[in-house]
Each structure stands twice: as structure tokens, then as C-alpha cells.
Amino acid sequence: MWHSLADAYMQPDTFRMHLNSLIQGLRNVTFVLQKQKRELSHFETWYTEFQEQARRSPLMRWSVNSRNRIVKESDLELHSEAKIRWVIDWLTKGERKFTFPPRMTSREMLGAIFSDPGNPRVGVITLTRRWVDKALPDYEVLHATREVYIALSRLLTTAHEACHVESCTFETREPPCVTSDLTRDPLRCMEINPAILQEHIDLNAGVGIKEDFLSVPRDENATRKARKRYGITEIGQGDAIELAPKIMQAAHAILERDKKHANFAWFLRGDEIVDVMSPMYADQNAKYLTFHRLADRVETLRANGIIYLAESWYVTDHKFDEHGQLIPARDRGKDRLEALQIFGATRDGRRITLTTPFSRSRFGKVLLGGTITDSDIEDMNYLGPFGPIIERWKTMDARGED
């Protein structure tokens, strides 16, 4: 039902119909449990605890009140919003929300926005369409219903555990993400900011930035071949800070063998890697967009750790332009070096960077330097690309999303 709602996002009447059905379906989960309580072990203990948590949750209260409104009064009072994010550089950014009629096109929205001469004309702009209920103005509707789904999924997992049932007998349905698996974690398919709802424009070049996402299933045979090629064994377990040095060791082997290394991002929940991405971007403005999209993925997965690996330019000192602005390594010319860099961060505030400068011989052989490790990082000029992720964790903390 949630996917049907997402698929109908650009169709206001159909979207409202699916939302009404979803809200009632979510509420029916607790009704069914209550009717079956005599057959459920320790029902009063775990269900009472859930009720107490739900009463403290604005989202769960909204879910209950919305069901009552839909059944007894009328549809939810929805507003069509456009959230606009400008990013000029890592330290200069802004966000505004506008309310538009639901059938207004993106071109018409942008025309209205840029009729104001005070709005920026440089950097990257992202326009995100949002349906918001008047009774829950701080949450987009897909995001709100997703959070309610997660809470109910955890409730059902608790119910199975209390009854000593290790696996559910529910048959696999369509879409294939609906399975009998019991989980307390969000489903990867429930994107909070799907690409279809966003448009990105490079204001400097005056062109749109098209976002493509390619899913690559894990191939165990290819994995075995890769390990043999690079002489890499399992990197083991650990959180983002613990795994970062092990990943750097593996990256050294790949760089020496292939003479290059792709960008990679690992998303972790505790000691478990829950997703891996290989972001690619053609220029600096696309890079700004990429790191905001990584922050979206962090929130979608409820990841509490991230490791990011990339080839980059590296310098050993700071230089500033005539305006006192730090000159990025990419613009330093002949005194810049190539380097493999890893940034690791956890939601609880721990950070680590590892930098391995390297050069190339006349015949193309990669010559690695010593790895420099830093775990005391506060300079936002240095943290710039990861600012969106760190800020997203702060937003999740403020909302109480664990």
C-alpha cells in the first residue's frame, strides 16, 4: 500500500485515495492484535509498553487521529509544497519551502521562485515536491507513514518473540520486498526522497542534472575472483571507525593493481554493513548534490555510520585567496598531490580520516606514501562534503528517530 501511494505521488486524487487506504491499513494492525490478545503470550506486557511509547510519539498520535478523521469526518487536509535547497559551496547553502497548487508544473514553480530577484543565481538548486498534512506540518506524508510502518514492524517482531515464534508463516507477496522476514529496521525500498520527486539544476551552467541509479546485485562468484585478483580477505566486523583502516588496506591493493580506484560509500548500522554505493559525479556541483543524496540514504536506512572512499587531490598546507577563502586542493595546481582518502563517521560524533598520498613512476607504477590518520576533526572547511550527513543525523536525533 505504501508503494502504491509513492507511485501515485504526482496524481493528487489517486494519491489521496491510496493515503486513505494506507492510514486505515496501518491502524488495522493494532486492531487485529487486540482481537487476538487472548492467544498471544504476555500480551499485556509488550502491548502496553507499545501503547505508552505510541502516546509519546507525535507520528503515532497523528496516525490514530488521521484514521479517525478519514473514517468519521473527511479526508486529510493536504498541502502541496515545494522544498527548495540552494547549495553554492559546502559552507554556503539555504533552504526554503513554498506552497503551490498540486497540479502546478516544475517549470511553473521555478518561474515563480526566480521571479524574486533576491533568490540566488549560482550553485545547485534542488526542487523537491512534498505532500504535507496540515496536522503534521514538519513531515512529508511518505516519510510520516514510513515511520509508522517501522514502529508497527517492530511491534510485530516483538509479538513473535514473546510467543517464541522464530519466523513468520506469511507467504511472500508482491512487491517482492514484502516477505515473511521479521525486522526492526527500515526496509531499503522505502526511500524518503525518491529521485522521481526531485529535480536538480546547475545554475552556473543553466542545465539540469539528471540523476541515475543502477542497482547491482551481489555476485558471489565475482566477489571470489576479485579477492583472488587483489589478494584481499574478509575485512571483518566493526563500526565505521574500526573498519576504515581495514578498508584502506584493501584500497591500497586495488590501486596498486588497477592504477585507479572508484568512489565507494559503505552505510552501517552498528557493526553491520547494510548498503554499499559507488557515487559518480562529473563536476563540483554534481558532487554537492551527491553528498546530499548520501544523506538521504543515511536517513532511509537509519544508518548510524558511514565510510567514504575516493581518490582526491591532497595538499600539505593551507593557502587562502584575496578574500580570505581557503583554496581547495583541486585548484592548487602543481603543488597538489594525488591521494586515497577515507572519511569515517558515526552518529554519536566519532570521526576519522585516513589519507595515503601516492605518485606514479614514469611507467605508471603507483608508489604509495605513508598513511596519515586523524581522528580530531572539527574544521568545517575539511568536513564540508560530509556536512549534509552530519546535519541529517542531528535532525534525526531531534526527531527521536533511532
Q: What is the pLDDT of residues 5-17, one digit of tens each?
A: 999 988 888 999 9
- The pLDDT score that the predictor gives to residue 96 is 83
The answer to whether residue 195 is domain-embedded is no
| Angle of CA points 369, 372, 375, to nearest 5° | 165
Contact 289, 209 (CB under 8 A): yes
Q: Do 231 and 346 fall within a single domain?
A: yes
Q: Do 226 and 343 fall within a single domain?
A: yes
The answer to whether residue 312 is domain-embedded is yes
Q: Do 221 and 153 fall within a single domain?
A: no
Whether the per-residue pLDDT at 361 is higher than 80: the answer is yes
Is cis: bond before 279, omega within 30 of 0? no
Question: What single-letter DSSP state applies at residue 317?
Answer: S
Region 101-125: mean pLDDT is: 80
The answer to whether residue 206 is domain-embedded is no
Q: Do 152 and 259 fall within a single domain?
A: no
Length of the chain: 402
The answer to whether residue 106 is domain-embedded is no
What is the C-alpha separation between 4 and 317, in angstroms, rounded? 53
Q: Do 352 and 307 fall within a single domain?
A: yes
- The pLDDT score that the predictor gives to residue 381 is 52
pLDDT one-digit tens code per residue, 185-232: 888 889 988 888 888 988 888 888 888 888 888 899 999 999 999 998
Whether the per-residue pLDDT at 379 is higher than 70: the answer is no
Region 178-189: mean pLDDT is: 84
Region 297-326: mean pLDDT is: 90
Q: Which long-range contacts (CB under 8 A, 24 or more apart) does 267-270 make?
A: 267/297, 267/298, 267/301, 267/303, 267/305, 267/306, 268/239, 268/240, 268/243, 268/303, 268/304, 268/305, 268/306, 268/307, 269/185, 269/301, 269/302, 269/303, 269/304, 269/305, 270/239, 270/304, 270/305
Whether the per-residue pLDDT at 382 is higher than 70: the answer is no
- The pLDDT score that the predictor gives to residue 210 is 87
pLDDT one-digit tens code per residue, 226-276: 999 999 888 888 999 999 999 999 999 999 999 999 999 999 999 999 999
The answer to whether residue 34 is domain-embedded is yes
| Angle of CA points 193, 196, 200, to nearest 5° | 85
Query: Strands of 124-133's sheet, edge to edge?
Result: 92-99, 78-89, 124-133, 198-202, 207-209
Q: Do 263 and 181 fall within a single domain?
A: no
The answer to whether residue 132 is domain-embedded is no
- The pLDDT score that the predictor gives to residue 53 is 93
Whether the per-residue pLDDT at 380 is higher than 70: the answer is no
Contact 300, 186 (CB under 8 A): yes
Whether the per-residue pLDDT at 179 is higher than 70: the answer is yes
Mean pLDDT of the chain: 89
Beta-bridged to residue 128, according to DSSP, are 83, 198
Give the DSSP H/E element, type plus range, for residue 342.
strand 337-346
The answer to whether residue 178 is domain-embedded is yes
Contact 87, 160 (CB under 8 A): no
Q: Quickly state the pLDDT bin for 378 (edges 50, 70, 90).
A: low
The answer to whether residue 175 is domain-embedded is yes
- The pLDDT score that the predictor gives to residue 329 is 82
Region 135-145: mean pLDDT is: 93
Q: Which of 159, 190, 221 is the last residue of a domain?
A: 190
**Residue labelled with grid coordinates 508544473:** 105
Region 35-61: mean pLDDT is: 93
Region 64-85: mean pLDDT is: 88
Any idea which of 41-55, 237-251, 268-282, 375-389 has the lowest mean pLDDT?
A: 375-389
Whether the per-residue pLDDT at 357 is higher than 70: the answer is yes
- The pLDDT score that the predictor gives to residue 110 is 80
Whether the per-residue pLDDT at 377 is higher than 70: the answer is no
Q: Do 276 and 319 fall within a single domain?
A: yes
- The pLDDT score that the predictor gives to residue 320 is 86
Burial class (CB in 10 A: 0-12, 13-18, 19+), 188: middle
Q: Do 222 and 335 fall within a single domain?
A: yes
Region 154-163: mean pLDDT is: 91
Indicate the number of domains in the chain. 2
Q: CA dist 359 to 94, 314, 338, Å?
A: 39, 11, 7
Percentage of residues of the chain with pLDDT beyond 70: 98
Q: Do 174 and 284 fall within a single domain?
A: no
Domain coverage including residue 250: 212-399
Q: How many CB atoms sit inside 10 A of residue 156's CB? A: 16
Q: Do 278 and 347 fall within a single domain?
A: yes
Q: CA dist 236 to 126, 242, 273, 340, 374, Å?
A: 38, 10, 11, 21, 22
Q: Do 162 and 269 fall within a single domain?
A: no
Q: Do 155 and 267 fall within a single domain?
A: no
